[in-house]
């Protein structure tokens, strides 16, 4: 499996994320149904004061994203994009309460087939709480906050959105909320950051590490690229210190060193998950004073830019 997080949006967002570069050969698949594209957008604005500060532009962000998915060459059909939004007149089962969100998450990947493409977006409040099982680098579990104040933990999001993905399927997620760096519990949250000079330095060092003999990278299995706990020896060759948690955590889940070894994606054999996060786990993100000043809008504007060739087009 190839699961990764990009903290903060880069300007060079490729439309290829929503495309299949090569024909997919479904595994143990007897149906002739063509791969489908499904979307789930959750937007919460009118929080009660005891739950969270009401937000201003999140409904507009959700509408813009739905129009992008359904009104462009990205190939999503209106009936296949579910929008949960706290507006009068919206069906009760689409109000973004904790129980409704959990139900929609359960249904989202339920009828998937290999090669299907899924888009998930959340705009609203999020926070974190202490983690007690040693599966978090910062000892915090992040969670979404529903309209009624319920908590939807990152573990739950992973179990519904990432873990069930079939070979060849793709998930692209946009988390426009606070503390969102690892909200999907994806393992590669540091090696793909695009926000500052330290990220560029990590990628430069990683290029050097990848030139080392493969036997230095112990535990480099066929499915998941190694993290710091599996090739710490190679990092030590460059004189880089290992964090204390690298050798003491019993059940590492998303301890990405920033130097993870890259490899080609086997599209017909593996699922792929990519998350665009508005900020790192300890950080907060804020709405701008004017409409359109959000990561979601930046995402929409980037994908709406004209291209000399649309890779999603068959012509």
State the pLDDT at residue 259: 67
Whether the CB-CB separation of 119 and 40 falls below 8 Å is answered with: yes
| Phi-psi label, residue 28: left if phi above 0, alpha if psi -120 to 50, beta otherwise | left
State the pLDDT at residue 112: 92
Taking the C-alpha atoms of residue 148 and residue 101, their distance in angstroms, rounded to an integer, is: 11
State the pLDDT at residue 184: 87
Report CA torsion sign: 119, 120, 123, 129.
negative
Coil, helix or strand for 306? Answer: coil
State the pLDDT at residue 262: 67
State the pLDDT at residue 80: 95
Q: What is the pLDDT of residues 128-151, one digit of tens each?
A: 988 887 777 778 889 999 999 999
How many CA atoms, within 13 angstroms, populate the side-chain half-sphere of residue 20?
23
Q: What is the pLDDT of residues 42-79, one digit of tens each?
A: 999 999 988 888 998 999 999 999 999 998 778 899 99
Where do the DSSP E strands lie in 188-310? 272-277
State the pLDDT at residue 8: 47
| Residue ranges for the chain with pLDDT beneath 50 | 8-14, 20-30, 218-253, 308-315
State the pLDDT at residue 213: 66
Residues with catalytic roles: 125, 178
Task: Label residue 231 exposed, middle or buried (CB < 10 Å: 0-12, 13-18, 19+).
Answer: buried
State the pLDDT at residue 89: 94
- The rounded Cα 198 to chain-centroid distance in angstroms is 21
């Amino acid at each position: 499996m190839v699961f990764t997080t990009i903290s903060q949006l880069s300007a060079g967002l490729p439309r290829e994320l929503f495309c299949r570069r090569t024909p997919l050969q479904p595994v143990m698949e007897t149906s002739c149904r063509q791969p489908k594209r499904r979307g789930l957008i959750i937007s919460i604005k009118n929080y009660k004061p005891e739950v969270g500060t009401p937000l201003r532009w999140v409904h507009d962000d959700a509408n813009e994203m739905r129009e992008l998915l359904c009104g462009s060459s990205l190939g999503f059909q209106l009936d296949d994009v579910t929008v949960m939004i706290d507006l009068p007149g919206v069906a009760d089962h689409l109000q973004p309460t904790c129980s409704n969100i959990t139900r929609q998450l359960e249904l989202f990947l339920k009828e998937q087939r290999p090669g299907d493409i899924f888009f998930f977006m959340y705009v609203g409040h999020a926070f974190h709480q202490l983690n007690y099982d040693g599966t978090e680098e910062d000892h915090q579990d992040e969670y979404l906050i529903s309209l009624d104040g319920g908590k939807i933990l990152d573990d739950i999001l992973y179990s519904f959105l990432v873990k069930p993905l079939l070979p060849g399927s793709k998930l692209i997620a946009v988390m426009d909320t606070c503390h969102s760096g690892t909200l999907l519990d994806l393992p590669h949250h540091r090696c793909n950051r695009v926000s500052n000079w330290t990220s560029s330095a990590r990628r430069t060092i990683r290029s050097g590490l990848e030139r080392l003999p493969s036997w230095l990278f112990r535990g480099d299995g066929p499915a998941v690229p190694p993290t710091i706990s599996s090739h710490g020896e190679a990092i030590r060759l460059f004189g880089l210190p290992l964090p204390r948690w690298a050798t003491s955590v019993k059940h590492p889940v998303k301890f990405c060193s920033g130097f993870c070894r890259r490899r080609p994606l086997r599209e017909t054999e593996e699922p792929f998950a990519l998350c665009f996060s508005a900020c790192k786990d300890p950080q907060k993100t804020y709405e701008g004073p004017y409409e359109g000043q959000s990561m979601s809008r930046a995402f929409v504007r980037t994908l709406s830019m004209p291209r000399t060739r649309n890779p999603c087009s068959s012509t």
